[in-house]
């Protein structure tokens, strides 16, 4: 009888173990097949999981032939008109915000014939493709750096770190173009080929490369992604920046609170950081953000915009910034929980 009981318990233990093994196998996505062709799947249940197509077109025809040129020449009396294409191939509606940066500052524009504003809500139904008209009026003469920017999942305020980490590089996306109005005179920026902000130098072994990272301490590698705050207080933080390990980087940085541009520091009106770093150079810039007065979770993000005012077309191999990433990327989105 005892033997029978022992066998039963042993069998029970084996079955439980197999169940646990299978459960873990599924959770960790182990599904290797001999062909090696099987997709193993994502491990982040909170992943953005976007499957979208985005384009900027001169006319609302979904064909690369009608893509917006990277250099646009206009007379000052004409507005800049283009069409944003968004293809949402997901079962959920695609919701995003749209804004325009003209020389790294948000400017009013018209979206879908609505009255001019700084930021517009947009949405695309599941499995829908759509063009949105954009009109930027009141252009001034000279060469401008223009970015049409999309902020993805703007109303997801989850404080879960897995969601926060998934916003790294991608919560804000932008398409840039050079706009030449009347003449090709470049806009003046506060500081060219240097830094327009005080900074601390980081160790060459600091892991960041060709981009930015928000932290609470200078030259720290500990991510700042969430904070509880009280209305009206000021939060100090650091914007860590790095050139590529083997190539220089030239960049602009802007900061957004709930997708509206705010100054880099509370005691200045600087709307952007402009800088250039030599290969392997890494620095940390002190900054401060005022906490909004409204309670709830607010979204704070910094955006790294490479090669300000440089031409967007393919560079020649002797171009100084030949190897620099040319795509606008965001920091991890910081959730500020105001209570």
Partner 1 sequence: MKRRNEMRAFSTLLAMLLVSVMVVPAVSAAEEKCWLFEEGKPWFENADKNKDVAFDGKELVKWVSSSSTRSMVGWRVRTHMWDVPLFGEESEHYSQARDSQGYPVDIDYIKVRGRVWYDDDYQGYYLYFDDSDTHYNSADALVHYEDEHQGTTGTFYARGDHWLEDGEDDKWYPVTTDTLH
Residues between 122 and 141 with contacts to partner 1, criterion CB under 8 A: 129
Nearer to partner 1, 116 or 180 (CB): 180
Tell me how far, at minimum, the Cβ of 92 lies from partner 1, in Å: 14
Closer residue to partner 1 (CB): 191 or 327: 327
279 binds partner 1 (CB under 8 A): no
The residue within the footprint of partner 1, chosen from 135, 165, 218, 297 (CB under 8 A), is: 165
Phi, psi for 64 (deg, rounded to 5): -55, -25
Binding flag, residue 160, partner 1 (CB under 8 A): no
| Nearest by Cα to 75 from 179, 180, 182 | 182
Among 25, 140, 228, 268, binds partner 1 (CB under 8 A): 25
Q: Which of residues 67-86 bind partner 1 (CB under 8 A)?
A: 67-71, 85
**Would you call 149 exposed, middle or buried from its count of C-beta atoms within 10 A (0-12, 13-18, 19+)?**
buried
- Per DSSP, the three-state class of 17 is helix
Which neighbouring-strand residues pair with 260? 257
Phi-psi domain of 240 (left: phi exceeds 0; alpha: psi -120 through 50; beta: other): beta
CA distances (Å), 197 to each of 214, 251, 253, 270, in order? 16, 13, 11, 9
Among 29, 190, 231, 296, binds partner 1 (CB under 8 A): 29
Which range, of 63-71, 181-189, 194-202, 263-271, touches partner 1 by CB under 8 A? 63-71
Q: Does 6 bind partner 1 (CB under 8 A)?
A: yes
Q: Which two tokens stand for residue 90?
A: 């997901």
Q: Does 17 engage in binding with partner 1 (CB under 8 A)?
A: yes
Of the two residues 208 and 264, which places its CB atom closer to partner 1 in the complex?
A: 208
The correct pick among 146, 149, 177, 256 for binding partner 1 (CB under 8 A) is 177
CB distance 240 to 260 below 8 Å:
no
């Amino acid at each position: 009888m005892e033997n029978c009981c022992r066998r039963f318990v042993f069998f029970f233990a084996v079955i439980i173990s197999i169940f646990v093994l299978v459960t873990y196998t599924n959770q960790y996505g182990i599904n290797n097949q001999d062909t090696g062709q099987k997709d193993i799947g994502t491990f982040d249940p909170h992943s953005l999981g976007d499957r979208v197509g985005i384009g900027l077109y001169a006319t609302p025809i979904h064909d690369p032939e009608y893509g917006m040129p990277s250099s646009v020449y206009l007379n000052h009396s004409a507005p800049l008109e283009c069409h944003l294409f968004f293809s949402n191939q997901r079962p959920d509606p695609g919701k995003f915000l749209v804004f325009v940066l003209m020389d790294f500052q948000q400017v009013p524009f018209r979206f879908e014939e609505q009255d001019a504003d700084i930021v517009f809500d947009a949405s695309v139904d599941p499995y829908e493709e759509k063009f949105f008209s954009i009109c930027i009026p009141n252009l001034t003469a000279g060469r401008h750096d223009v970015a049409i920017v999309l902020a993805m999942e703007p109303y997801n305020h989850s404080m879960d770190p897995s969601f926060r980490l998934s916003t790294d590089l991608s919560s804000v996306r932008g398409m840039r173009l050079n706009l030449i109005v009347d003449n090709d005179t470049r806009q003046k920026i506060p500081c060219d080929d240097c830094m327009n902000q005080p900074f601390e130098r980081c160790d060459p072994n600091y892991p960041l490369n060709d981009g930015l990272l928000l932290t609470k301490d200078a030259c720290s590698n500990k991510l700042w992604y969430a904070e509880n705050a009280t209305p009206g207080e000021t939060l100090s933080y650091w914007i860590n920046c790095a050139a590529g390990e083997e190539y220089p980087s030239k960049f602009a940085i802007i900061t957004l609170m709930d997708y509206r541009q705010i100054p880099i520091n509370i005691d200045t009106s600087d709307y952007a950081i402009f800088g250039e770093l030599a290969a392997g150079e890494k620095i940390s810039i002190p900054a401060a953000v005022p906490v909004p007065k409204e309670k709830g979770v607010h979204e704070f993000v910094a955006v790294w915009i490479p090669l300000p005012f440089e031409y967007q077309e393919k560079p020649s191999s002797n171009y100084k910034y030949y190897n620099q990433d040319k795509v606008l990327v965001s920091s991890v989105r910081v959730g500020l929980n105001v209570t």
